């Protein structure tokens, strides 16, 4: 049974939904710049207009209310609030988020705010290379303070960072996100800085006694050994030590897994950990109220020798079966799982993995959990003014059921947010990879909204507090 206060939600991110990239005093973010470099995003798509949520938020929130949403997770664009990253506050930016928050509350939707969803102010990137410098800790904490001072009278759920493991991997290792670097040591160093930022913001939140709950959201993929061979089981263990547990432990235990850290040290890849870091990280971990996880898929791991396959870029074309094998030599490689189905972007569909992930995290960290993202990216077709996205309904049904199984096992799950409410920009995949309950025709300047079949499906789920899915099973 889902708790009667269970937060059925849906999520977005400022850059992917708002548009209005240069209006009302907004400063330039690293994404505003990145999308303008030829070849960086699918067919040069950008978020200049996106879903124009900046102007259409009332209409979108009215649709959320019609669906019955209990929470709307959205992010704040740092550059709307502090156009240069620090210093003068842009009141028009504050006003916009006040309008969004108030509109949500007016229709009984709990606003859940992500403070950072990847759109770093370009000014800070230019000045000190952003996440590469520890100076980010002070600037970010000050930005968070501005958010708390302005919005914490009404916002009760705060997610400090969205998927720090993904933006550091894609930004500093795979060179697919800004700043487009490829340096394994830097990836681990910048990740360490994100953890310090998280801890510093949690500390500020608690010391100032702001009401509400705070956490961060990590992209989590549980792992399976590809076979029962000793080598594959060991590859899976190494994956946890250097990826899953590594990413989570530093945020929610305040330490790195021992084997993982010593492996990285021996390889000359470990982050520099300064005096006082671990103390701050432990404090941040202790005072984090919840753990946010974004779950899309699991990973199946196999042995990868030291001269084995390296990391390869993701499939951003939507041509099924075009992604290449990827791994970290000496640790593991990710392989296809013959038991499971894949999306057109080669993401594995594995609802059981969600149950396993939730249980693993619950057992290791003993904190309440929020699923801050889960959803299916797919091509949608409009037929006679309708979108019959049965595949999305099927995906969501199975993942909601997966949540239920985890709750039965004792997991304290507070919320489930789908990705996304309307169709929005997919960072690297343009507008053709759709996730929403509400279709947007991006070819039409009026950006018309159209409810998909999945809109009504989720409406039924919320109305029955999950019973509609359980009944069918
Ligand atoms: C997560 C991000 C989201 C969103 C989602 C879907 O990693 O937090 O912002 O983009 O993935 O990913 P994609 O758009 O690449 O399909």
Q: How confident is the model at residue 235 (pLDDT cuts 50, 70, 90)?
A: very high
Report how far ligand 1's centroid is from the alpha carbon of 163 (Å).
9
Interval 199-229: pLDDT, tens: 999 999 999 999 999 999 999 999 999 999 9
The answer as to whether 308 is a domain residue is: no
Q: Is the CB of 29 under 6 A from ligand 1?
A: no
Q: How confident is the model at residue 51 (pLDDT cuts 50, 70, 90)?
A: very high
- Token digits of residue 383: 């037929």
Atom nearest to 163 CA in ligand 1: 8
The answer as to whether 233 is a domain residue is: no
Per-residue pLDDT for 106 more than 90?
yes
User: Which of 426, 430, 431, 435 most suits a substitution to test ligand 1, by most atoms within 8 Å of the C-beta?
Assistant: 426
Q: Is the CB of 344 under 6 A from ligand 1?
A: no
The answer as to whether 131 is a domain residue is: yes
In 35-178, which residue ranges form alpha helices assigned H by DSSP?
A: 53-67, 78-81, 91-106, 122-128, 135-151, 164-172
pLDDT value of residue 472 = 74
Q: How confident is the model at residue 314 (pLDDT cuts 50, 70, 90)?
A: confident
**CATH code of residue 33:** 3.20.20.80
Q: Tell whether pTM > 0.85.
A: yes
User: Which of 17, 169, 247, 373 most suits a substitution to test ligand 1, by most atoms within 8 Å of the C-beta?
Assistant: 373
Q: How confident is the model at residue 62 (pLDDT cuts 50, 70, 90)?
A: very high
Q: Is the CB of 49 under 6 A from ligand 1?
A: no
Q: Is 279 a catalytic residue?
A: no
pLDDT value of residue 263 = 97
Domain count, the chain: 1
Interval 339-367: pLDDT, tens: 999 999 999 999 999 999 999 999 999 99
Q: Is the CB of 75 under 6 A from ligand 1?
A: no
The answer as to whether 314 is a domain residue is: no
C-alpha 255 chain-centroid distance: 22
pLDDT value of residue 343 = 96
Question: How far is the CA of 119 from the CAs of 93, 102, 216, 335, in angstroms?
Answer: 15, 24, 16, 31
Domain hosting 83: range is: 7-223+288-297+343-472
Q: Is 163 a catalytic residue?
A: yes
The answer as to whether 113 is a domain residue is: yes
Out of 103, 110, 163, 169, which one is annotated catalytic? 163
Per-residue pLDDT for 234 more than 90?
yes
Ramachandran angles phi, psi of 175, nearest 5°: 55, 30
Can you state the angle between helices 91-106 and 53-67, rounded to 10 degrees?
Answer: 20
Q: Quick check: helix, strand or coil at residue 61?
A: helix
Ramachandran angles phi, psi of 293, nearest 5°: -125, 140
Q: Which residue has the tokens 């303008």?
A: 36
Report how far ligand 1's centroid is from the alpha carbon of 42 (Å).
14
Which residues face 158 on adjacent strands? 113, 214
pLDDT value of residue 79 = 98
pLDDT value of residue 202 = 98
- Return the closest-CA partner of residue 115 out of 78, 163, 164, 155: 78
Q: How many CB atoms lie within 10 A of CB 419?
A: 24
Q: Quick check: helix, strand or coil at residue 298?
A: coil
Phi-psi region of 299 (alpha: psi -120 to 50; beta: other; left: phi over 0): beta
Q: Distance (Å, rounded) from C-alpha 473 to C-alpha 468? A: 9
pLDDT value of residue 313 = 79
pLDDT value of residue 428 = 95
Per-residue pLDDT for 473 more than 80?
no
pLDDT value of residue 250 = 98
pLDDT value of residue 471 = 85
Atom nearest to 433 CA in ligand 1: 16
Interval 399-425: pLDDT, tens: 999 999 999 999 999 999 999 999 999
Interval 417-464: pLDDT, tens: 999 999 999 999 999 999 999 999 999 999 999 999 999 999 999 999
Per-residue pLDDT for 31 more than 90?
yes
Q: Is the CB of 375 under 6 A from ligand 1?
A: no
Q: Is the CB of 162 under 6 A from ligand 1?
A: yes
Q: Is the CB of 389 under 6 A from ligand 1?
A: no
Per-residue pLDDT for 465 more than 80?
yes
Question: How far is the CA of 450 from the CAs of 18, 279, 331, 388, 444, in angstroms?
Answer: 18, 50, 46, 12, 13
What is the percent of the chain where pLDDT is above 90?
Answer: 97
Mean pLDDT taken over the chain = 97
The answer as to whether 279 is a domain residue is: no
The answer as to whether 22 is a domain residue is: yes
Q: Distance (Å, rounded) from C-alpha 345 to C-alpha 377? A: 8
The answer as to whether 319 is a domain residue is: no
Ramachandran angles phi, psi of 128, nearest 5°: -140, 25
């Amino acid at each position: 049974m889902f708790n009667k206060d269970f937060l059925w939600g849906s999520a977005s991110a400022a850059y992917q939904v708002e548009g209005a990239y240069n209006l009302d005093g907004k400063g330039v973010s690293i994404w505003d710049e990145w999308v303008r470099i030829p070849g960086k995003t699918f067919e040069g798509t950008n978020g200049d207009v996106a879903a124009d949520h900046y102007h259409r938020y009332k209409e979108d929130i009215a649709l959320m209310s019609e669906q019955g949403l209990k929470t709307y997770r959205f992010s704040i664009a740092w550059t709307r609030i502090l156009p240069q990253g620090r210093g003068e506050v842009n009141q028009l930016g504050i006003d916009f988020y006040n309008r969004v928050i108030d509109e949500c509350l007016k229709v009984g939707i709990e606003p859940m705010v992500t403070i950072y969803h990847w759109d770093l102010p370009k000014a800070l990137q230019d000045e000190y290379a952003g996440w590469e410098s520890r100076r980010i800790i002070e600037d970010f904490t000050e930005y968070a303070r501005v958010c708390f001072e302005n919005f914490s009278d009404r916002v009760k759920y705060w997610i400090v960072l969205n998927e720090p493991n993904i933006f550091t991997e894609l930004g500093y290792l795979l060179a697919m996100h800004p700043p487009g670097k490829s340096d394994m040591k830097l990836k681990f160093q910048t990740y360490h800085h994100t953890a310090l930022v998280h801890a510093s913001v949690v500390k500020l939140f608690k010391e100032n006694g702001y009401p509400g709950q705070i956490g961060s959201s990590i992209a989590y993929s549980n792992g399976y050994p590809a076979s029962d061979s000793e080598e594959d089981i060991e590859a899976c263990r190494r994956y946890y030590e250097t990826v899953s547990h590594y990413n989570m432990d530093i945020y929610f235990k305040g330490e790195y897994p021992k084997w993982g850290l010593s492996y990285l040290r021996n390889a000359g890849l470990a982050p520099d950990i300064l005096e006082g870091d671990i103390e701050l990280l432990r404090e941040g971990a202790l005072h984090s109220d919840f753990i946010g996880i974004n779950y899309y898929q699991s990973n199946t791991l196999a042995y990868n020798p030291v001269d084995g396959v390296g990391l390869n870029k993701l499939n951003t074309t939507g041509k099924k079966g075009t992604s290449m094998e990827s791994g970290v030599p000496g640790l593991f490689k990710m392989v296809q799982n013959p038991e499971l189905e894949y999306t057109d972007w080669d993401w594995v569909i594995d609802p059981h993995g969600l149950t396993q992930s939730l249980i693993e995290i619950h057992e290791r960290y003993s904190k309440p959990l929020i699923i801050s993202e889960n959803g299916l990216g797919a091509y949608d077709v409009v037929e006679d003014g309708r979108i019959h996205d049965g595949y999305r309904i099927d995906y969501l049904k199975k993942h909601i059921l997966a949540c239920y199984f985890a709750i039965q096992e004792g997991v304290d799950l507070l919320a489930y947010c789908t990705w996304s409410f309307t169709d929005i920009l997919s960072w690297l995949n343009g507008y053709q990879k759709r996730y929403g309950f509400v279709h947007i025709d991006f070819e039409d300047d009026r950006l018309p909204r159209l409810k998909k079949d999945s809109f009504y499906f989720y409406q039924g789920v919320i109305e029955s507090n999950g019973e509609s899915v359980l009944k069918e099973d």
